[in-house]
Every structure is written in structure tokens, then in C-alpha cells.
Chain A
Amino acid sequence: METTVEAMTAALLPSPNPVQLIDPTGAEVEQAGTRRDYPMPSAARLREVWRAMVIGRRFDIQATALTKQGRLAVYPSSRGQEACQVGATLSITGDDWLFPTYRESMALVTRGIDPVEVLSLLRGDSHCGYDPIATKTAAQCTPLSTQLIHAAGAGYGEKRRGTDNVALAFIGDGATSEGDFHEALNFAAVFEAPTIFFVQNNKYAISVPLSKQTKAPSLAYKGIGYGVPCEQVDGNDPAAVLAVMDVALQHCRGGNGPFLIEAHTYRLDAHTNADDATRYRSSDEVSAWLERDPIARVEAWLRAHGELNDDIVSATNAEAEAKAAELRDRMNADPSVDPMSLFDNVFAARTPQLDEARAMVATELAADSKEV
């Protein structure tokens, strides 16, 4: 007879293999052996995701180009991870919270945040260009996994307010080694916070491969010790990402606490433009992942179902081009940053010590302007 503990554990387990609904050729995958039911999302949603992925990828390529032109200090690309960035983001609503890392620029653009505001951090004119409260999107987080606990707290806050809003938090594979990942899962579980932890396992933490991060069978299993149900998904299959997100959202909105998703994906570019990926991975490995392209497979599926044709594809490509061109033009204008703003937001009101430093800088600036 199965013990209660065994039954509890079984309810938490991820599927033995990553959930996949559409294979890399665009063919539907017969569902067998998954731990939960994952119905195919509607064609309309897949088309929406496809369109946003096309625009998102073009944005990402444009951002990388902007670093080469010196317009961005650095850019961590998510090219290749479009199904995660776009699929997960489009699964939630504007009333839900999003907790992104520095790699989620594409997700933020997908969420409807002005791309220039998104790139403010990397251009260097401010630490966060958008309004986190108005957009319900936290500032992009650099200290790894630290934002996950905020997501647990925000999820719990929503629950206390009596809403069914959730918090969706992104992290990468390397960040699962950080202590805050574990504290976040544990807090979210104990307080039954409606928080989805979405791990984009892109196989490398800068250069360090997953084999040096963990001995777990798969990162998805890391939720079990905390009593958090887990799933693993083909992170390059937009349909599967939507389907798994739907299950996670239903779980969270139903008042059942958090959910952990591991999405198996791949970062096609280096960690950032400052990184040299050839030092730690082979071009054969990259080529193999190019074959698993998330856009191509859902495009093939949509075409096969009569949901997409050459006209729509070229119109969407043109739309993505136009957005990229507009972004390039807007980023070519030098932003104006007021040195005196340095002192504005340390506290709600300036302390005498800030006033003193501010007066010094004001004097320096006045002297500079006289010299000119």
C-alpha cells in the first residue's frame, strides 16, 4: 500500500521527460507518460506567441547590434530562449507580477514595456527605466536568485489582498545553486504563496555547465524537498511552455501555493557580448540547438494547420523590422541625465548629508559651466 508520504511525493514529481507538444519539425507529439494533462493551446494563442517571438528575436538581435555600436554597455542575449521569454510572459496577465533577471529584456518587451525603457539599465542612463509598480514588473535583477524571495513575498501579498494574482519569477540554471533559490521555494511553500518559479535551464552559467551545478536528476526535482509541485518542459516548444504554464497558473490561482518549472532551452549567443562562448562549448553543440528552433517549429505547425501563410509571415517580419528600426533610431539619441538627480531617490526626502553632497556637486557643475 502506498504511504501518505509516497502519495504526497508523487503529486509533486515532474514528468520523467520534458513535456513536449510540438517537435522540432512542427509535428504534434503524442502525449504519454506526463504526470499531468497538457492539452494543445489554441491556434490563436500559438499564433500570438509566434508573432511575439518573431518580434522578440528581432529586438534581441537589435540590442546585440546596439552594443557593437556602443549604445549599450552590455547586453545579455536570450536568442534561442524565445519560447520561454515569450510563452511564459504571455501566459500571465497585467494583474500578475513578473520578476525578471537581466536576461529577460525580451520578456519585458513582450509584456508591452517600452523597449527603450527596458534597455535603460544596459544603456546606463538609469538602473531601471520603467515603473515597476505601474507595470507590476520588478526591476531587472542582477544578484542571482535574490528576486525569487521578493516574488514569494509579492505572491503572498496578493493572496493576503484576496486576489488570485500570481507572481512569475524567472531564473537561470546557475542561480538554482544560490541559497535564495531554496529560501524562496521554502517560503513560498510554507506561506502557500501563488508564485511560479520558471527556471530557464540554458545549460550554462556563463561558462560553467549544468553538470557542475547539480547532481539532481533534473532541476525540476528541486521543488520536491520543499513540497512544491514541479514540471519540466521542452523550453524550445512554445506550445508546451504555454500548456505547462496554464497548469501552473491554475494551481496557483486555485490557492494551492507555488509551482516550479524547469524549461530545457539553450542560449544561442554568448552570456553577453563581453563573453567568448567558443572557450567552453563547441559549434556542433550550438548547431544541434539551432535545429530545435522554437519559432520554426511553431511556424511549421501553424502553416500545417492553415493558420499562417507567406503573406502573414512577411508582414510580421516587416513589423519586427520596423520596430527594430524605430528602436535603433530612438537609441541613437543621447539620453539626457541630470547629475543633480543623483541625490533625489536615496530616501524619500534628502538628509542633511545628502544636501551637503548635493551642494558640492551643484557648485562643481556651476564652475564647469562657467569654464565652458
Chain B
Amino acid sequence: MTVTMGGALNAALRDALAADDDVMVFGEDVGTLGGVFRITDGLTQQFGEERCFDTPLAESGIVGFAIGMCLTGFRPVVEMQFDAFAYPAFEQITSHVAKMRNRTTGRVGLPLVIRVPYAGGIGGVEHHCDSSEGYYAHTPGLKVVTPSDAADAYSLLREAIDDPDPVVFMEPKALYWSKQDIELPCKRPAFGKAKVRRDGDDVTLVTYGPSVPTALKAAEAAAEEGWSVEVIDLRTIVPFDDETVVRSVRRTGRCVVVSEAQGFAGVAGEISARVTERCFHSLAAPVARVSGLPTPYPAPMLEKTYLPGVERILDAIARLQWDDQPDLTYAEVGARG
């Protein structure tokens, strides 16, 4: 059957609520309305206000309240309405959610899922398009998960809800309406297992979430130019699947990391460093990054320029020293331009 990513997420929440009475869904507008993206559509109607409910409009309160409910044995799944709207909850997430198991010597685990619709590409206005995964991935104690298709959306969300640790579940909102022909419920590989979305021999594209379809398009276009491109979808940023990435890059000898978040001090930089540390002697060229620009997320009419697209990925592939000549892009000392 044809399922959208949004529909798969809705099905995952529905099945989790049915499977475990301790699961609760709450946040802003998730009740009667069914969420601004309709991911919680129909849950209050089916399971009642007790299981899926609206909260006051305060993100720190939502996450902190969920922590308290965990202490009494519940498994809350909370929604942050948009990426940038989660920032008021940042202290609760970094100081408590991430640290609780550690600061209590393993005595208090928080089986909590924080759903965050994130990233751009939907023409959203200010504060609705941030790629905030780096903040969470940088914080020890948080699992950071991001699906790129409907099947993973279902499987990873079910796993996140069952996980004994807190999971920041990043939903690429531009892919909410993407469709896939699958049967639900479905079970995909567990956290920490990346998926090779396309096999290739010449270059490895490492990517995740909203950038996966773009990377696949770029791989298709690259094939026409004679490059065989492998595409790895991380699925979980934390835990990170070094093994799949390293195995691929050692074989292809070239790597481009693609992420929508701006590049400086971000997840793409971390991946690039890990690959360089582990694959240096197999690399024919430096690991390249194709990312968002080092600017705040732009106004909708400029987002096409901002987002890493097929052309920018192809340009990066083209610079991977195919003729064994040094890439002079970074020949100048200091930042280019």
C-alpha cells in the first residue's frame, strides 16, 4: 500500500499507543487538531484525551513534564512543533534528558521520545526550517535519529518509543509527503545501522534525513557522467555506524558528506573527521562536505540557493582529484572569498 512518511509516523504512534498503555503523546496542537503536520491525526479520537493531549504552549514545560512522568513509569512521546520552537526546551534536554541516566548512576533512565520536525525545503518562514540536529548530536546521552523514507519512519519511531534511553527523533518535514509502497507494520534494521541506498564503486556519499533524496538524484546524474556513486543513509546520527561508512569509503577511496545543516562545527564535519581518521590511507582525495551555507536559514525565496542541491554535490564529486591533480579550491590560506 502507498504510505506517506507522515502517514507512517502516524501509524507508528497509533501502534505504540495500542501496544503499551504507558505510552503517552502530548505537545502543542497534537490533540483535537492532530498536529500542525497531522502526524498525530486521530489519536485523541481513538485513544482519548488521557493518551494524546494538548499542553500549554511552553516547550521547556513539555519536556520537563515528560521527565517527571518518566519517573512514574510512563513513556512519553512529545512533539516540538518546529525545529526552532524546540530551543526553549534546550536546557531541559541538555541538562536533564541527556544526563539523567548518567547523573543518577544508571538508576533513572528516561524512555522519552522528543519528536522534532526539522530542516527546510518547504518554503517555510523564519524559525521554521532549522537543521538543529548538531546541537543534539553534540550532547552525550541523546540518541539522534532521522528517517528518510516511510518505512524507516515507522520502524525507527517504534524503536525510539521502545528504547530505554531518550531519543531526539528528527523528522525531515520536506519528506512528510513523500510516498512509498510498503506494508505496515514493518521492521527495519535497529539503531546504529546505516543503509546503503545505492551501490557504487567510485565515490561514497554519506548523508541522512532530508538530504537522502537529493544525494540519490545526484548519484543518478553522476552515473551519466561516468561516476559510480554509493549513497549511505545514516538513519541514526547517534549511535553512528562507523563500520558501514568506513567499509564503503575504504573501497571507493572517495567521500562526500552531504547535509542540509550549515557546515561549520556540524554533523557533516564530524563525519568528515571520522572518515579521514579511519580511511586516510585509502583516500584518493580529501573528504568533501556539501552542506547548508554559513548563514541563518534564508527567507523562502532564497532557500534554493541555500540548500545543497544536485549541482553542488556533482561539483564536489568533480573536484575529487580524478586526474590525480591537487584540488586547488583551498589553495589560498584562510577562507575562500
Contact = CB atoms under 8 A, between A and B. Distances in A.
Contact of B69 (A146, A153, A346): A153
Contacts of B143: 347
Interface in A127-149: 127-128, 131-134, 138-139, 143, 146, 148-149
Contacts of A128: 103-105, 107
Contact of A160 (B70, B74, B102): B74
Contacts of B67: 149-150, 153
Given A157-B73, A347-B101, A180 B60 contact: yes
Given A157-B69, A184-B64, A346 B91 contact: no
B108 interface: yes
Interface in B209-256: 238-243
Contacts of A346: 101-102, 140-141
A132 B70 CA distance: 12
Interface stretch (A210-218, A256-264, A348-356): A348-356
B60 A139 contact: no
B102 A157 contact: no
Nearest to A226: B56
A161 B21 CA distance: 11
Contact of B65 (A97, A132, A156, A161): A156
28 contacts: A97-B71, A131-B107, A132-B71, A132-B108, A133-B107, A139-B100, A149-B61, A149-B65, A152-B65, A153-B68, A153-B69, A154-B68, A154-B69, A156-B68, A156-B69, A157-B73, A157-B74, A179-B88, A180-B91, A183-B60, A184-B61, A190-B56, A344-B106, A345-B105, A346-B101, A348-B101, A348-B164, A348-B165
Contacts of A154: 68-69, 71-72
Contacts of B192: 351-352
Given A127-B104, A148-B64, A352-B241, 7 more contacts: A139-B108, A143-B91, A149-B65, A152-B64, A186-B56, A353-B238, A353-B242
B122 to A, nearest CB: 29
Interface string B104-129: 11111100000000000000000000
Interface string A196-210: 000000000000000
A151 interface: yes
B58 interface: yes
Contact of A127 (B68, B70, B102): B102
Contacts of A351: 192, 238-240
Given A132-B108, A146-B95, A348-B165, A167 B68 contact: yes
A352 B278 CA distance: 14
> What 9 pairs between A and B have smallest CB-CB spacing?
A153-B68, A149-B64, A157-B72, A183-B61, A127-B103, A351-B239, A154-B68, A153-B65, A345-B106
A155 B68 contact: yes
A141 to B, nearest CB: 8
Interface string B71-105: 11110000000000000100110011001111111
Given A151-B68, A152-B64, A133 B243 contact: no
B32 interface: no
B72 A132 contact: no
A40 B101 CA distance: 42
B103 A153 contact: no
A97 B165 CA distance: 22
A161 B108 contact: no
Nearest to A97: B71
A187 B56 contact: yes
Given A139-B104, A167-B68, A186-B56, A353 B239 contact: yes
Nearest to B74: A157
A126 interface: yes
Max chain A Cβ within 10 angstroms of own Cβ: one of B72, B99, B106? B72
A146 B102 contact: no
A180 B141 CA distance: 22
Given A139-B103, A344-B106, A351-B192, A146 B64 contact: yes
Q: Which of B50, B65, B109 neighbours the largest number of chain A CB atoms within 10 Å of its CB? A: B65
A149 B107 contact: no
Contacts of A186: 56, 58, 61
B64 A132 contact: no
A138 B96 CA distance: 11
B55 interface: yes
A190 B72 CA distance: 19
Contacts of B141: 346-347
Interface string A329-372: 00000000000000011111001110000000000000000000
A183 B104 contact: no
